Structure 1
Amino acid sequence: MVEMGLNAVWIMVAAVLVLLMQGGFILLETGSTRMKNAGHVAGKTIFTVGLISLVYWAVGYGFAFGGDAGEGLNKILGLGNFFFDPSISAAEGDAYPSSVFFVFQLAFAAVSMSIAWGGFAERAKLSVYLIFTLFFGSVIYPVIAHWIWGGGWLAEDGSQDYAGSTVVHLTGAMAAFAATILLKPRIGKYNKDGSANEILGHNQVFTSLSVLLLWVGWFGFNAGSALTIGDGFFAYVAFTTQLGAAGGAVAALLISWLVKGKADIGVTLNGALAGLVAITASCAYVEPWAAVVIGLIAGVLVFFSQLFFEKIRVDDPIAALSVHGAAGVWGTLANGFFATPELAEKVGVGQAGLFYGGGGHQLWVQFLSVVVCGAFAFAASFIVLWVIKQIMGLRVTEEQEIVGLDLSEHGSYGYPEALKKSNTTTAL
């Protein structure tokens, strides 16, 4: 009972850390966009976290973790625990209460949802956030979570995704990708000749603080996924997480400095996040040196990925496709190279990677996970958003976008003193 109680406390602390990452997402998206949309960004994040909590409780958790793992239809979709009603305490022999596991998993679902919002930024109707949350929280995210974490067919294949490089990050990024395609670029982003204009975020201090908040929250994200205190393995997971994040931040700064001639702060911040995303799948499977390498590659990858998406005219204000998509793919594949036999055996999922005598099997499983989950998340999100677009439209009017979503969608301004000052100046 003492061990169960300690496990429950640790999972609850980890869940709170992951939920507080929403503060990081608020500051990240607000700081990376323009002042006229700041209140909208902050408010819709709180609203959608509330909505996905209800949807995930009613339906999503059942599809992700319901039913008997690995049996019949349950290989594809969980069937059970809808309108989840846990016991008031853990039963004898349980490692932790089911209620605390639900809270932890809900926080993950909310993070994936917030990643998706990067593709909607500064141009989507508030009503679209509402409707898409219903589908994402009830079906799109839970199906992928079930495949890898809930005893589904990829779990049976031995897919290694310890804390969600694919389940959480790639899923959210593919939803963002579908949104960017259907919403099209923001007004003024691209010129007729195809060249891009830089639309700067209004507060780099916000974005820097957001990265720090997310970085701290990631210890709940990764180390919390151990789910038990046990022999202290969660601390090793936290250790490799820190190394991966550090590698990403340093590599991104250096590559931007080398290519641009100036050390780009925005790229450095995204590099830290990319390192965190990449190490998320492998934090429990790799040695320290490999964690550093995974982070370093992620930091370089995110720099060139941002350039690529801008070149093909994909307007991604928060760099969700690069930070969570490209780095999520790399982080998942990295297990196929760097997973050690000892750690794979300890976690109990999959086998050693290519560099540790495991051959190409684990790399193939990781590749399959990326392709199938990425394709499903993109296709399902695209279909849902396309239907919404046909029925009611996705994007605010040109006038509303120019005025800003604070005023056009909410009738108030995130920085009211600045608005008063502007009106006074106009009157004078």
Structure 2
Amino acid sequence: MIRKMLFTLGAMCLVFPAMAFANDPSNATLNMGVNSLWVMVSFVLVLLMQGGFILLETGSTRMKNAGHVAGKTIFTAGLAGLVYWAVGYGIAFGTANADAGTSSFIGWGDFFFNPAITSVDDGLPTTIFFLFQLAFAAVSLSIAWGGFAERAKLSSYLIFTVIYIAAIYPVVAHWIWGGGWLAADGAQDFAGSTVVHLSGALAALAATILLKPRIGKFNKDGSANEIAGHNQVYTALSVLLLWVGWFGFNAGSTLAIGDGFFGYVAFTTMLGAGAGAVSSLLISWAVTGKADITTTLNGTLAGLVAITASCAFVDPWAAVVIGLVAGVLVFYSAKFFEKMKIDDPIYAMSVHGAAGIWGTLANGIFATQALAEKVGVGQGGIIDTGSWYQLWVQFESVVVCGAFVLAASFLVLGIMKLVMGFRVTEEQEIVGLDLSEHGAYGYPEQMKKAGQNLQG
């Protein structure tokens, strides 16, 4: 199947110019067509990461919640698309602000986005740019669901999706990617270690603190019990799916094929992921005496998250260092959150939060002046230039964006908790969200057998 898809894509790349531009097109028109195809393929890759999130959360949680995880992911991704079209895209990238001071903090315009049907002046069609940015917003939202896992009402997913995609995520996206004040300062976040991953992780942190731990997670003396996920193979497959999708995530963010720079971005992405996988396995093996599979999987994702901000700004050796540190960081941060009695079933705060912070700050250390000029954002880091300026800007972006998302998420979820409550009852949690929220099991045959065994 994959071989056929690659063959078809290759054939399209060869045939498409001849078919579409038979009337001797300009180089600009030809470049527009090829770039549009590349970004569209990247959008598909990033959208397919939702399949990875379904498998990740399903595999990391219990069988009685499997159908709920799958269903709410599809539902919220669809709802996110509508909300982003109506409001989110305009807040992130709208350009109707008359006042320059206002536009530094929030985008405006293009609500209920009605784009040009085709490319304007041989630029990337806004339809394709919209789809690509929508996929990023949906990924950030799926990260936030880690803090809701196994104990939140379905209605809370609906309400938080609307507010997060309309008014929380797009503000941060505007500050860094939409020409906002952090972009003016030179904040380097090529594909979203802060915009996408840290934002989602801090929304998850607010949710899990307000929801409180799952039943049975912690004992009265504060010690933690392991609530094992039901399918580690699903979790491993999820990491592979996300890993593949990440090449659309990072390399697609070049928004062009041009001189092949997208290949360099993909190259550093691969190095960061590999280093995260290796260091996380080795640190768990050294500390616990066992090469923990869950830690290895999380370390791989942490390497990907960390390199996301810096994939276009650093040399290959630095990409390896960034991934190595991320793999170790995810191991110790998971232990820290558990010690703080924060119940994080899919390790969102460690994988996307801690690694997202590290990846963003790493630019201030490892970014090179040559690559910063190539991308056109910021400057080189301490090692290359001796200047602390870029590290300060990276720190500023982490603190400000993190504080905004955390405060906004706490406010929204806190109001929801007071007004409607957003945790299921104890009985519903014990029965499982498949049955209590949807009236059907994700694994009907297995759950029926379990019920018969209990009756017997």
> 1:78-111 CA distances to partner (integer Å, 9 max, x unpaired)?
01111011111002232x1000000000000000
Distance 1:77 1:358 in 2: 33
- Corresponding pairs, count: 427
Distance 1:219 1:170 in 2: 19
1:168 to 193, 196, 199: 196
Report the 3-state secondary structure (helix = DSSP H, G, I; strand = E; otherwise coil) of the residue aligned with 2:290. Answer: coil
Name 1:281's counterpart in structure 2. 309
Name 2:25's counterpart in structure 1. none
Name 1:297's counterpart in structure 2. 325
Q: Which runs of 5+ in 1 are unaligned?
A: none
Structure 1 residue 12 corresponds to structure 2 residue 37: no
Counterparts in 2 of 1:331-342, with a 5 A limit? 331-342=359-370
Distance 1:424 1:256 in 2: 40
1:386 to 411, 414, 419: 414
TM-score w.r.t. the length of structure 2 is 0.93
Distance 1:15 1:421 in 2: 41
> 1:326-365 CA distances to partner (integer Å, 9 max, x unpaired)?
0000000000000000000000000010000141000000
Name 2:137's counterpart in structure 1. 109
Name 1:234's counterpart in structure 2. 262
Alpha-carbon offset, residue 366 of structure 1: 0.0
1:409 to 421, 430, 437: 437
Alpha-carbon offset, residue 426 of structure 1: 4.1
Structure 1 residue 346 corresponds to structure 2 residue 368: no
Distance 1:67 1:426 in 2: 61
Distance 2:287 2:450 in 1: 39
Distance 2:453 2:225 in 1: 28
1:98 to 126, 133, 146: 126
Name 1:82's counterpart in structure 2. 111
Name 1:152's counterpart in structure 2. 180
Distance 1:229 1:242 in 2: 18
Structure 1 residue 189 corresponds to structure 2 residue 187: no
Q: Which amino acid aligns with 2:255?
A: L
Name 2:164's counterpart in structure 1. 136
Q: Is the 8 A contact 1:276 1:295 kept in 2?
A: yes
Q: Which amino acid aligns with 1:367?
A: F
Name 1:38's counterpart in structure 2. 66
Structure 1 residue 396 corresponds to structure 2 residue 424: yes
Report the 3-state secondary structure (helix = DSSP H, G, I; strand = E; otherwise coil) of the residue aligned with 2:191. Answer: coil
Alpha-carbon offset, residue 423 of structure 1: 3.4
> 1:296-321 CA distances to partner (integer Å, 9 max, x unpaired)?
00000000000000001000000000
Distance 1:101 1:68 in 2: 18
Q: Is the 8 A contact 1:11 1:228 kept in 2?
A: yes
Q: Is the 8 A contact 1:40 1:405 kept in 2?
A: yes
Name 1:314's counterpart in structure 2. 342
Report the 3-state secondary structure (helix = DSSP H, G, I; strand = E; otherwise coil) of the residue aligned with 2:365. Answer: helix
Q: Is the 8 A contact 1:351 1:358 kept in 2?
A: no
| RMSD of aligned alpha carbons | 0.9
2:94 to 58, 66, 71: 66
Distance 1:226 1:175 in 2: 27
Alpha-carbon offset, residue 151 of structure 1: 0.1
Structure 1 residue 422 corresponds to structure 2 residue 450: yes
Structure 1 residue 269 corresponds to structure 2 residue 317: no
Distance 2:370 2:110 in 1: 34
Q: Is the 8 A contact 1:159 1:349 kept in 2?
A: yes
Identity across aligned pairs (percent)?
74
Structure number with bigger Rg = 2
Structure 1 residue 327 corresponds to structure 2 residue 355: yes
Q: Is the 8 A contact 1:32 1:317 kept in 2?
A: yes
Distance 2:453 2:261 in 1: 60
TM-score w.r.t. the length of structure 1 is 0.99
Q: Is the 8 A contact 1:241 1:276 kept in 2?
A: yes
